[in-house]
Structure 1
Amino acid sequence: MQTRTVQTDTRPQAVLEAGDGPLVLLIHGFPELALSWRDQIAALAQAGYHAVAPDMRGYGGSPGPDPRDGYSILHLVGDMVDLVRALGQTHCVVIGHDWGAAVAWHCALMRPDMFRAVAGLSVPFQPRRAGGPPIPAMAAISKRAGLGDLYISRLQADDAHAIFDADPATALRKCFYGYDGATPTQRQSTGFIPAGENMLSVVPEDATLPPWMSETHFAEYVSAFSAFGFKGPIDWYRCLDLNWSLTAYLQDRRIDQPSLFIVGERDPVRNYSGKHEAEQPLWLTDLRGQIVLSGAGHWIQQERPDEVNAALLKFIGNSGVI
Structure 2
Amino acid sequence: MDGIEHRTVDVNGIKMHVAEKGEGPVVLFLHGFPELWYSWRHQILLLSSLGYRAVAPDLRGYGDTEAPSSVSRYTCLHLVGDIVGLIDALGVHQVFLVAHDWGAIIGWYLCLFRPDRIKAFVCLSVPFLPRNPKYKPVDAMRALYGDDYYICRFQEEGKAESEIAQIGPAQVLKRILTSRKTGPPILLKAGLGSNLDPPETLPSWLSEEDIAYYASKFENKGFTGPLNYYRNMNTNWELTAAWTGAQVKVPVKFIIGELDVVYTIHGIKEYIEGDGFKKDVPNLEQVVVQEGVCHFNHQEAAEDVSNHIYNFISKF
In the superposition, the TM-score normalised over structure 2's length comes to 0.92
Of 115-124 and 257-266, more deviation after overlay is shown by: 115-124
Query: Corresponding residue for 1:177?
Result: 178
- Alpha-carbon distance, 1:115 to partner: 1.5
* Cα drift, residue 196 of structure 1: 2.4
User: After superposition, where does 1:189-268 map in structure 2 within 5 Å?
Assistant: 190-193=183-186, 196-205=189-198, 208-268=201-261
* Residue 104 of structure 2 is aligned to residue 101 of structure 1: yes
2:92 matched to 1:89?
yes
Contact 1:57 1:64 in 2 (8 A): yes
| One-letter amino acid of the structure 2 residue matched with residue 229 of structure 1 | G
Q: Secondary structure at the match of 1:120?
A: strand
- Confirm whether residue 155 of structure 1 aligns to residue 154 of structure 2: yes
- Kindly indicate whether residue 307 of structure 2 is the aligned counterpart of residue 310 of structure 1: yes
On the 8 A contact 2:182/2:260 being kept in 1, the answer is no
1:187-209 superposed Cα distances (whole Å, 9 cap, x missing partner): x2643326624443121245543
Equivalent pair of 1:96/1:104 in contact (CA under 8 Å): yes
Q: Give CA-to-partner distance per residue, 1:128-166, whole Å, 9 cap, x none.
A: 1110311111111125xxxx7321111112222221234
Residue in 2 that maps onto 1:183: none
Q: How does 1:123-134 map to 2 (within 5 A)?
A: 123-134=126-137
* Alpha-carbon distance between aligned partners in 2 of 1:9 and 1:192, rounded to the nearest angstrom: 33
Is contact 1:177-1:208 (8 Å) kept? Answer: no
Is 2:298 the partner of 1:295?
no
The more displaced of 223-232 and 1-10 is 1-10
Return 214-223 or 1-10, whichever deviates more: 1-10
1:219 partner amino acid = A
Are the equivalent residues in 2 in contact too, given 1:193–1:199 (CA < 8 A)? no
Take 2:93 and 2:188, find their aligned partners in 1: how far apart are those partners? Answer: 49
Give 1:2 shift: 1.2
CA distance in 2, matches of 1:208, 1:67: 38
Contact conserved, 1:139 with 1:153, CA < 8 A, in 2?
yes
CA shift for structure 1 position 114? 0.7
CA contact (8 A) 1:126 1:276 kept: no
Shift of residue 244, structure 1, vs aligned partner: 0.2
Give, in whole Å, the separation in 2 of the partners of 1:43 and 1:195: 40
Contact 2:188 2:195 in 1 (8 A): no
- Paired residue type of 1:299: F
CA distance in 1, matches of 2:145, 2:215: 32
Give the Å deviation of 1:260. Answer: 0.8
Name the residue aligned to 1:71. Answer: 74
| Structure 1 unaligned blocks of 5 or more | 180-187
Residue aligning to 1:182: none
SS in 1 for 2:33: coil
1:206–1:293 distance in 2 versus 1, CA, 3 Å: closer
Q: Which consecutive unaligned segments of at least 5 residues does structure 2 have?
A: none
Structure 2 CA distance, aligned partners of 1:149 and 1:141? Answer: 11
Query: In structure 2, how many angstroms separate the alpha carbons of the residues matched to 1:76 and 1:168?
Result: 24
1:109 Cα shift?
1.0
Q: 1:284-307 CA distances to partner (integer Å, 9 max, x unpaired)? A: 111110001111111101111111
Farther-moved stretch of structure 1 (158-167 vs 253-262): 158-167
Root mean square deviation of aligned Cα = 1.6
Q: Residues 1-30 of structure 1, C-alpha deviation per residue, up to 9 Å, x if partnerless?
A: 111112234221111111111111100000
Q: What residue identity is the alignment partner of 1:274?
A: K
SS in 2 for 1:285: coil
Is contact 1:165-1:230 (8 Å) kept?
A: no
Q: Is the 8 A contact 2:160 2:192 kept in 1?
A: no
State the alpha-carbon separation in 2 of the partners of residues 153 and 308 from structure 1: 31
CA distance in 1, matches of 2:81, 2:187: 37
Q: CA deviation at 1:41?
A: 0.8
CA contact (8 A) 2:21 2:53 kept: yes
Q: Which residue in the other structure is 1:269 paired with?
A: 262
Matching residue of 1:185: none
Q: What is the total number of aligned residue pairs between the two structures?
A: 307
Q: Give the distance between the partners of 1:221 and 1:30, measured in 2 at CA.
A: 11
